[in-house]
Structure 1
């Protein structure tokens, strides 16, 4: 048990470090739980428990550094929560496999576009709110809240890409606002998993501590290095999540 927990703590640290910068940490933490022999349902619930702690740490650091727009969050964050609740309640009725191909294509598109675009997210071009961009933000937050509760892979990448596209944020502000929204959907899903008794707290608590440390370090480095660090990691993680999903389809 001790060796298993040490292994999961190391994997959790790495996952949270990367996730706090560009999203996609689940492709490290979820397989690690499965490799350690944690049953699938408890893997999802326990990972959500530990990753939510990391998400809170990362979100708080981005917020205190001024990279979360709370005026925007006031409009769109509640719709992330509503979407996540509906998503979790829908997942028990619909087979997730039908989403795989669509999400795979979208992730590849996001990663490749970001790779070859020389201007996206390089500088902050936010010019204020309009009825149009607030409506688009509500649609984005609701859709990805639902998606995170229902399925999950690539949520952070989609949020960051969407916020940059709609509001003209640079990658640092895109990451900060995406992390905040992702925390909202994470904690909503966490309550659902806790309600259904799908969390192993003996494993989850030490992993959560290691993920908090990883998230704090990753966020500090992201804020210090800025766009030059976040953009390449964002592209790599988008394509890595897509590759992981493609391998799951092939299997």
Structure 2
């Protein structure tokens, strides 16, 4: 499929913004995927879903490296979660190539509203690290949570990073900054698995995706550095804004 220069430039702007959001708390799909659907309305939706995974693979991997240089990460939890998320994402992407993802949206909307309400009701949530689980329980959360969120990422996508951050803050007790750093490692794996499945089926616009990946990379570097510099309290505020926007977006899709 041929894509004009003007369309590529517009999509690169949105990819840059998405990279910044993904690096901080996730939610880049809120920006990037709708842009693809609007700018390229004639393209097959499954091809846009596949192309949407290419840029974040580069961006989240870059952000993960930036975080690891500046923030101490529990590598064992991150590795376990990334492994199960990788499998879950592959299964979700496989299902997405066969059926539509519309049936999950009402459920995701309810969950996001609960996440937003819980976060707002606890102003101190995630400002400092308060680990509340045994090592075994933490690994269990990593296995189950990673698989479930990975499946969602492969099947639907937008908001995956935010779900990962909330799981690590709300269930494990990490600060928002450390949760975001860990989520980048996991999200890289989910994006990679989903991309591999879409690519195997020939559902990726590679030239466009490469240009968007470069823009996403630039945005992710700025976002990760901002998060480290501003700290958990600032990351928490961005998280609330992004989840609120996701709620509005999904409510429009479900009820509109």
Q: Where in structure 2 are there 5+ consecutive unaligned residues?
A: none
- Contact kept? 1:23, 1:157, Cα under 8 Å: yes
Give the stretch that moved more between structures: 121-130 or 222-231.
Answer: 121-130
- 2:109 is the counterpart of 1:134: no
2:125 aligns to what SS in structure 1?
coil
- 2:120 is the counterpart of 1:115: yes
Quote the residue 2:184 is aligned against: 179
Q: Where in structure 1 are there 5+ consecutive unaligned residues?
A: none
**Residues 190-239 of structure 1: CA deviation (Å, up to 9, x unaligned):** 11111111111221111111110000000000000011221111011111
1:153 aligns to what SS in structure 2?
coil
Quote the residue 2:47 is aligned against: 42
Which of these residues, 219, 224, 228, is aligned with residue 229 of structure 2? 224
Aligned partners of 2:212 and 2:95: how far apart in 1? 28
Aligned partners of 1:11 and 1:93: how far apart in 2? 28
- Contact kept? 1:111, 1:236, Cα under 8 Å: no
Quote the residue 1:197 is aligned against: 202
Matches within 5 A, 1:149-164: 149-164=154-169
User: How far apart are residue 18 of structure 1 and its match?
Assistant: 1.3
- Contact kept? 2:84, 2:143, Cα under 8 Å: yes
**Residues 74-96 of structure 1: CA deviation (Å, up to 9, x unaligned):** 33321111111222223345542
Quote the residue 1:22 is aligned against: 25
Aligned partners of 1:128 and 1:60: how far apart in 2? 27
Which of these residues, 145, 149, 153, is aligned with residue 148 of structure 1? 153
2:73 aligns to what SS in structure 1?
coil
Matches within 5 A, 1:226-241: 226-241=231-246
Aligned partners of 2:205 and 2:96: how far apart in 1? 21
- Contact kept? 2:82, 2:187, Cα under 8 Å: no
User: How far apart are residue 127 of structure 1 and its match?
Assistant: 6.6
- 2:34 is the counterpart of 1:31: yes
Aligned partners of 2:12 and 2:246: how far apart in 1? 21
- 2:88 is the counterpart of 1:72: no
- Contact kept? 2:176, 2:235, Cα under 8 Å: yes
User: How far apart are residue 53 of structure 1 and its match?
Assistant: 1.0
* TM superposition score normalised by structure 2: 0.92
- Contact kept? 1:83, 1:144, Cα under 8 Å: yes
Could you list the runs of 4 or more consecutive aligned residues of structure 1 that deviate by over 4 angstroms after TM superposition?
92-95
1:210 aligns to what SS in structure 2?
helix
